[in-house]
Amino acid sequence: MSDLLFLPAHRAAALIRGKRLSPVEYLDAVLAAVEGQQPRLNCFVTVMAEEARAAAKAAEAAVMAGGPLGPLHGIPIGVKDLLDVKGAPTRMGSRIFDAAAPAKADAVPVARLRAAGAILFGKTTTPEYGVKGLTDGPAFGITRNPWNLDRTAGGSSGGSAAAVAAGLGPIALGTDGAGSIRGPAACCGLVGLKPTLGAIPLEGAKDGFGNNSYSGPMTRSVTDAALMYGVLRGPADADPLARDPWSAGAGPDAPLSPGLIGGDLGGLRIGYMMRCANPRVAAEVEAGTRAALAAYADLGAELEEVTDEIDWIEFEGRVLYQANFTVLLAAQLPRWQNAMDPVTLEFMRRGEGFSLAQFREAQFARTRLFRQIQALLERYDVLMMPTMSRTALPAVFDAANEEVVVDGVPCGITRQGWTSPQYPFNLTGHPALTLPSGFGADGLPFGLQIVGRWRAEADVLRLAAILEQARPWAQHRPPGLG
């Protein structure tokens, strides 16, 4: 059972195509594991067992009929509960939607997964509107990290991360508005990809032109992330395309750089940094990052520490983020204020205090940051850094007010002291991937972030695969899960 639950999606799909694995039996194994682990982890808000079993039976019939099969045929997958899945309510992690009706249609990424043959079996937990870097809230309680139940799974795609790390489906779909794929993936020992802005349509954004949110894969292997990205990417069909201006204007992905085809990385220029806006990085995280960089150097890559003074616009980023929630949720306050997450309310209160001039200055700062990163990526082929400053925080943590402690030193709230390397690349639009780069003394994983040029997902994924091969981690599983 354990071997089946931790089978990579691409291998499971091959076994299904070869009639050596039944989609029905595979799904039943996953659903049984969900039933056993849900009380411990609390990573699903909805399990669509009946609908999923019907889809698995249809998938098995298609295999036996010998017709064409999609690349994810028969693969069970969970979807973060910010995205619509036809037939299931979308509750947005909020009590506001306790009585939400089932969605009438799939979101574009969900529809693409379904068309590729995936079996959609559950909606994974998210904090209210995906507002914070931990996954908990009044609507559903606390989602816990499979590596240590006293720690958070990260946020806001914490349910997807916890599920995949625990073998509750080999892959999951997350969203990333300020690091919400990469942070949970790093906390739980996964690969998480935030693609280039517009690469995967986001038809539901209120501000399509000012968008900084993305959807993307959360997996246990780089191959699975690449497989899933291949299914998800590309402009939407006519109607959704008209609703996402970034997708409408997206060009094709850049081809894989020739120098990355083999194992010789001679000539590859890696610019690395240990800190962004965060004042510290844990010594063990820095050591793991340097070990990962050394693996690239051993293959011929040229490493150079980035010493430029980068304005990471930490304050301006908060202006954009918190003012957005102030306006977005203002209409809900009269009825729902007493049922909302205190962190949501605090972010809204702070956002209300910003002026229009500060908001416009923050938008100008976003452009300045983009140009600074573009300039770096003219000197370097890729940027690398720790995904976050330390391992997962306690499961009970006040994300609005409590300070993150790194090696005994208070370092500010989560966006300042913990997840600082993530949000800047939501704002600039560059593809950013996290993959495991080590374990802390507390037994929890942490990650390396790889940032590429616009539309260079192929290079980012290839470099991740090279590190995965040089420093394998798939043999590690959370305690009690294999």
317-331 residues labelled b (16+ CB within 10 A) or e (exposed): bbbbbbbbbbeebee
Q: 64 is written with which tokens?
A: 């036996």
Does residue 156 have a cis bond before it (omega within 30 degrees)?
A: yes
Q: For residue 357, give every residue at least 6 positions away whose Cβ sits within 8 Å of its Cβ, in sequence order, or none.
A: none
Mean pLDDT of 109-138: 98
- Exposed / middle / buried, residue 67 (Cβ in 10 Å: 0-12, 13-18, 19+): exposed
Average pLDDT, the chain: 96
Residue-wise pLDDT for 243-259, tens only, equals 788 988 788 999 999 99
Q: CA angle at residue 326 from 320 to 327, to 5 degrees?
A: 90
pLDDT at position 237: 59
What is the band of 116 on the pLDDT scale with cuts at 50, 70, 90? very high
Strand partners, 58: none
- Domain residue limits, the chain: 2-470
Q: 247 is written with which tokens?
A: 């997708």
Active-site option among 156, 213, 257, 389? 156
DSSP per position, 265-283: -TT-EEEE-S-SS-S---H
Phi, psi values for residue 192, rounded to 5° = -140, 130
Q: In Å, what is the CA distance from 438 to each residue of 192, 218, 274?
A: 15, 18, 15
User: What secondary structure letter does DSSP report for 249?
Assistant: T
What is the rounded distance in angstroms from the CA atom of residue 258 to the CA atom of residue 380? Answer: 16
Active-site option among 22, 80, 123, 160? 80
The identity of residue 114, as a single letter, is R
Mean pLDDT of 34-59: 98
Residue-wise pLDDT for 146-187, tens only, equals 999 999 999 999 999 999 999 999 999 999 999 999 999 999
Q: In Å, what is the CA distance from 86 to each residue of 190, 262, 337?
A: 27, 42, 29
Check pLDDT > 80 for residue 482: no
What is the band of 294 on the pLDDT scale with cuts at 50, 70, 90? very high
Which residue from 157, 159, 130 is spatially nearest to 142, judged by alpha carbons? 159
What is the pTM for the complete model shown? Answer: 0.98
Q: Is 80 one of the annotated active-site residues of the chain?
A: yes
Q: In Å, what is the CA distance from 20 to each residue of 15, 23, 59, 344?
A: 5, 10, 14, 48
Active-site option among 22, 157, 180, 257? 180
Place of tokens 């020992």: 189
Q: Is 156 one of the annotated active-site residues of the chain?
A: yes
Strand partners, 112: none
pLDDT at position 250: 82
Q: Is 157 one of the annotated active-site residues of the chain?
A: no
Check pLDDT > 70 for residue 46: yes
Which residue from 415, 461, 456 is spatially nearest to 435, judged by alpha carbons? 461
User: What secondary structure letter does DSSP report for 316?
Assistant: H
Which residue from 317, 284, 289, 283 is spatially nearest to 303, judged by alpha carbons? 289
Which residue from 379, 216, 230 is spatially nearest to 306, judged by alpha carbons? 379
pLDDT at position 248: 83
Which residue from 178, 183, 126 is spatially nearest to 446, judged by alpha carbons? 183
> Could you give the dihedral angle defined by the CA atoms of residues 83, 88, 92 and 98, in that order, rounded to the nearest 10 degrees?
170
User: What secondary structure letter does DSSP report for 313?
Assistant: -
Q: 26 is written with which tokens?
A: 């595979």
Place of tokens 């009706």: 101
Residue-wise pLDDT for 411-468, tens only, equals 999 999 999 999 999 999 999 999 999 999 999 999 999 999 999 999 999 999 999 9
Residue-wise pLDDT for 346-360, tens only, equals 999 999 999 999 999
CATH code at 2-470: 3.90.1300.10
pLDDT at position 202: 87
107: three-class secondary structure by DSSP: coil
Residue-wise pLDDT for 7-41, tens only, equals 999 999 999 999 999 999 999 999 999 999 999 99
What is the band of 206 on the pLDDT scale with cuts at 50, 70, 90? confident
265-284 residues labelled b (16+ CB within 10 A) or e (exposed): beebebbbbbebbbebbbeb
Torsional class of 168: left (φ above 0), alpha (ψ -120 to 50), beta (otherwise): beta
